């Protein structure tokens, strides 16, 4: 059978790639394409084929960005409404998932290239090469038109809107996160693009946001309301991580929240005038104390502040009991001086015993109250 020249053979594959992107694989013969690639590798045209395929992919992706994405990106940048961000991010996500589907097919057709040429030349396998092409053409184009920054901006704006109570499309955001996690950083292969670009910005912006939120709350809310609001924030942020972020972000985000909502105001919360720790203890606000404890206990310094605050209050209450009883004791004694001495002495002893009993009772009652706190609010935390 007469052999076609390598360039013509390569054209077959280049054209097939185009058809695959257009969802026309059903019109193509896998065997013919596979055999063409096989022939090119055997005739020592592996490099031409590999580089040629990469060029085809890059050109295709660049065209798609220009036709389908750039207009949305510009709109989202100029007028960052929720809808515009959504349209932009959705268009990126669509290109990504189409690219993945196409690459799975392309890698199968070029399996001989992977098994024979790629291994020998120690290059990236076809699928990985396709992923890098996407990263370097769509996200980080050398011409500076890379979409990585606009994507991160739009993503963070959607989070901001959601924190403000608006509805955003979470599945699109999840698609974008998944995309960023599948692509690896050029500089350090072990880290993903998500880790290097989106995550740091996300954490930084979250810190700023909650710094401002806490500053307002500490002035306007009592301690119970503050801690309940803080707990609600913790829950909603963790929900956000589950819904459309990456698990590794949970720890970082939690730490940021702890710093801004709890750590920065550890004493401040307890000392809120007329609505601080002492009021919560005296009003036996068990549920609020429980929330407070849960927020403070993972953090050593705030926990110490809490513990010393409670200790101080217990000591104060204890002294009050002793003082009250010793003043009534002296009151009783005063009353006794008017009676006959013997009666006075007896009264004195009996009264003293009563007083002593009352003191013990009061102290025990105080102990019970705080034991209840220990049980119900502080989860029997040994450190308390």
Partner 1 sequence: MSSSSSAVEQAVATTVKLASGDGFAFIVDKAVAEQSPTIKNMLDVTRGGAFTEALTNQISFPEIKGKVLEKVCQYLIYKYRYAAEGSTERVPEFKFDLELSLELLMAADYLDC
Least CB distance to partner 1 at residue 37 (A): 11
Least CB distance to partner 1 at residue 29 (A): 5
Least CB distance to partner 1 at residue 234 (A): 39
Task: Between 31 and 167, name the residue whose CB sits nearer to partner 1.
Answer: 31
Mark 82-119 as b/e (b = at least 16 C-beta within 10 Å): bebbbbbbbbbbebbeebbebbebbbebbebbbeebbe
User: How many of the chain's residues bind partner 1 (CB under 8 A)?
Assistant: 22
Does the CA dihedral 249-252-255-257 come out positive or negative?
negative
Using CB under 8 A as the binding rule, whether residue 26 contacts partner 1 is answered as yes
Least CB distance to partner 1 at residue 31 (A): 6
Three-state secondary structure string covering the chain: CCCCCHHHHHHHHHHHHHHHHCCCHHHCCHHHHHHHHHHHHHCCCHHHHHHHHHHHHHHHHHHHHHHHHHHHHHHHHHCCCHHHHHHHHHHHHHHHHHHHHHHHHHHHHCHHHHHHHHHHHCCCCHHHHHHHHHHHHHHCCCCCCCCHHHHHHHHHHHHHHHHCCCCCCHHHHHHHHHHHHHCECCCCCCCEHHHHHHHHHHHHHHHHHHHHHHHHHHHHCCHHHHHHHHHHHHHHHHHHHHHHCCHHHHHHHHHHHHHHHHHHHHHHHHCCCCCCHHHHHHCCCHHHHHHHHHHHCCCHHHHHHHHHHHHHHHHHHHHHHHHHHHHHHHHHHHHHHCCCHHHHHHHHHHHHHHHHHHHHHHHHHHHHHHHHHHHHHCCCCCCC
Using CB under 8 A as the binding rule, whether residue 37 contacts partner 1 is answered as no
Task: Between 69 and 106, name the residue whose CB sits nearer to partner 1.
Answer: 106
Least CB distance to partner 1 at residue 48 (A): 20
Q: Which tokens sit at 220?
A: 């306007």
Least CB distance to partner 1 at residue 286 (A): 56
Using CB under 8 A as the binding rule, whether residue 101 contacts partner 1 is answered as yes
Which residue, chain included where needed, has tokens 């819904």?
Answer: 243
Using CB under 8 A as the binding rule, whether residue 44 contacts partner 1 is answered as no
Q: Which of 25, 181, 203, 246 is in the footprint of partner 1 by CB under 8 A?
A: 25
Using CB under 8 A as the binding rule, whether residue 347 contacts partner 1 is answered as no
Task: Between 110 and 257, name the residue whose CB sits nearer to partner 1.
Answer: 110
Q: Which of 102, 113, 152, 180 is in the footprint of partner 1 by CB under 8 A?
A: 102
Least CB distance to partner 1 at residue 39 (A): 9
Least CB distance to partner 1 at residue 45 (A): 17
Task: Between 23 and 312, name the residue whose CB sits nearer to partner 1.
Answer: 23
Question: Rounded to an integer, what distance in angstroms lies between the CA atom of residue 105 and that of residue 110?
Answer: 9
Using CB under 8 A as the binding rule, whether residue 3 contacts partner 1 is answered as no
Least CB distance to partner 1 at residue 120 (A): 14
Task: Between 97 and 346, name the residue whose CB sits nearer to partner 1.
Answer: 97
Q: Which of 6, 14, 28, 75 is in the footprint of partner 1 by CB under 8 A?
A: 28
Binders of partner 1 among 104-163, rule CB under 8 A? 104-105, 108-109, 111-112, 115
Angle, nearest 10°, between helix axes 148-163 and 199-220? 20
Task: Between 102 and 310, name the residue whose CB sits nearer to partner 1.
Answer: 102
Using CB under 8 A as the binding rule, whether residue 359 contacts partner 1 is answered as no
Give the range of 99-107, 146-154, 305-313, 315-323 binding partner 1 by CB under 8 A: 99-107
Least CB distance to partner 1 at residue 93 (A): 15
Task: Between 31 and 274, name the residue whose CB sits nearer to partner 1.
Answer: 31
Task: Between 25 and 366, name the residue whose CB sits nearer to partner 1.
Answer: 25
Binding residues for partner 1 (CB under 8 A): 1, 20, 23, 25-31, 34-35, 38, 101-102, 104-105, 108-109, 111-112, 115
């Amino acid at each position: 059978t007469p052999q076609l020249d390598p360039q013509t053979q390569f054209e077959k594959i280049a054209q097939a790639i185009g058809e695959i992107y257009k969802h026309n694989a059903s019109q193509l013969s896998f065997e013919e394409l596979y055999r063409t690639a096989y022939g090119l590798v055997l005739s020592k045209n592996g490099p031409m084929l590999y580089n040629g395929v990469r060029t085809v992919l890059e050109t295709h992706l660049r065209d798609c960005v220009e036709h389908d994405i750039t207009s949305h990106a510009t709109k989202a940048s100029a007028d960052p409404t929720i809808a515009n961000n959504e349209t932009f991010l959705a268009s990126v996500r669509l290109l990504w998932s189409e690219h993945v589907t196409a690459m799975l097919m392309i890698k199968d057709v070029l399996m001989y290239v992977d098994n024979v040429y790629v291994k020998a030349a120690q290059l990236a396998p076809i699928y990985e090469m396709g992923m890098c092409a996407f990263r370097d053409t769509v996200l980080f184009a050398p011409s500076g038109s890379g979409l990585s920054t606009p994507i991160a901006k739009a993503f963070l704006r959607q989070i901001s809107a959601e924190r403000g109570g608006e509805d955003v499309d979470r599945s699109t955001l999840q698609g974008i996160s998944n995309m960023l996690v599948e692509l690896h950083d050029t500089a350090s292969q072990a880290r993903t693009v998500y880790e290097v670009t989106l995550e740091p910005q996300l954490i930084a912006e979250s810190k700023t946001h909650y710094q401002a939120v806490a500053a307002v709350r500490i002035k306007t809310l009592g301690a119970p309301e503050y801690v309940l609001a803080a707990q609600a924030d913790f829950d909603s942020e963790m929900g956000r991580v589950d819904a459309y972020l990456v698990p590794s972000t949970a720890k970082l985000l939690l730490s940021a929240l702890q710093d801004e909502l709890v750590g920065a105001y550890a004493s401040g919360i307890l000392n809120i005038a007329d609505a601080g720790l002492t009021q919560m203890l005296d009003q036996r606000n068990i549920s609020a104390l429980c929330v407070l404890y849960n927020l403070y206990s993972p953090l050593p310094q705030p926990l110490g502040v809490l513990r010393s605050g409670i200790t101080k209050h217990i000591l104060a209450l204890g002294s009050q009991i002793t003082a009250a009883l010793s003043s009534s004791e002296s009151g009783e004694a005063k009353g006794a001086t008017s009676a006959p001495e013997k009666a006075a002495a007896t009264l004195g002893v009996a009264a003293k015993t009563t007083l002593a009993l009352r003191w013990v009772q009061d102290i025990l009652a105080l102990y019970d109250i705080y034991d209840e706190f220990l049980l119900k609010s502080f989860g029997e935390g040994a450190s308390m």
